[in-house]
Structures are given as C-alpha cells and as structure tokens.
Amino acid sequence: MMQTMSDHNQKIPFDFRPEDMIPAVRSFEPVLYRQGNLYYCLLGADADNGILGFGATPRQAIADWEHKLRSNMNK
C-alpha cells in the first residue's frame, strides 16, 4: 500500500488567495505539510506521483513547488 504525505506529516492551513501569490498556486492550491523544520508543498496523490516542493518556510516550499511544476510542463 502506497503511503501519502499525510501519513507521517502534519497538514497545515495556508491562504492561497493573496494577490502576490504565484498564479499557478492560486489555481491549483497544492497541500502544505510540515515535518520537523521542513515544509512540503504537494499536488497529487503522493510524492512519487505528484509534484513536490520543499523549503524552510511555507513560501519557500511553494516557490520550489512552482519551479518543479514549470519544469514538468516543459518536458
């Protein structure tokens, strides 16, 4: 059975509506998780089948996620 990010991490609430938020993030609203000092931003069923970004803050995780989203779109 495949484990999801939420099996071992704490899902955290985040407001994706601010105007300075990256448009793709406002559209897709990926889920944010926290594990220890790291934040994860995930769109998809799990890390293997979705787009996963991470960082020391929620904004850094979202920026990393957006970079990986763009990279996947350019393949």
Q: Specify the pLDDT at position 24.
A: 86
What whole-number distance in Å separates Cα of residue 9 and Cα of residue 5? 6
DSSP calls for 4-25: PGGGTSEEE-----STTS-HHH
Q: How does pLDDT run across 30-63, given as a tens digit for each residue?
A: 999 999 999 999 999 888 999 999 999 999 999 9
Q: Is there a contact between 64 and 53 (Cβ–Cβ < 8 Å)? A: yes
What whole-number distance in Å separates Cα of residue 32 and Cα of residue 40? 6
What pTM was computed for the model?
Answer: 0.80
Q: Specify the pLDDT at position 1.
A: 30
Mean pLDDT of 10-26: 84
What whole-number distance in Å separates Cα of residue 10 and Cα of residue 22? 23
